[in-house]
Amino acid sequence: MSASDNPTSAAAASGRGPRCIWLTGLSGAGKSTIAQSLEQQLRARGLHTCLLDGDLLRLGLSRDLGFTQADRAENIRRTAEVAKLMRDAGLIVLVALISPLRLERQRARELFAQGEFCEVFVDTPLAECERRDPKGLYAKARRGELKNFTGIDSAYEAPLNPELHLQTDGTDALALAQQIAARLLVVG
């Protein structure tokens, strides 16, 4: 059966069914905050969701991984596989994960049928991410205490063609989450 013959895929393509919304951006960009707000909005509309947050995944599912390129790729692979399982269970899956490389995000996308994966670029300038940094990670990376920190000594490749590009400067998380819901989920 092709994705176009699958009613679940057809519903996802229309914005009304299970799917994966993958928020990517630098540490401190606002991915988790936006995803949490979006999850609240969707649940208030009676939609079933699952939020996979990168920080929480690192405490459990990926606690055995470090921050080398190979470990990051494995973290993204694991997250994408769990997201697909949750989507298969009928949920709208929200992933908030730095996922710095295009190739890794493309591999995640390939697990889903057309219309089931929505890449959202949470675009926040590096200086703003550093200003917001509640854990002091950027300062530690700048001092050389943290190695392979995305945006400092490890690359972040911005998406070339995301389904949605959110500019965060001057816009709060609630409004950004509403943009995702309106544009990608066709809920109104």
- Catalytic residue list: 99
Give the distance from CA 128 to its chain's centroid.
Answer: 19
- C-alpha distances out from residue 47 to 18, 21, 55, 151, 185, Å: 9, 14, 24, 35, 11
Q: What is the largest CA-CA distance in the chain?
A: 54
Angle at 82 between CA 76 and CA 85, to 5 degrees: 140
Closest to 125 (Cα-Cα) out of 25, 4, 31: 25
Rounded distance between C-alpha atoms, residue 169 and residue 58, angstroms: 27
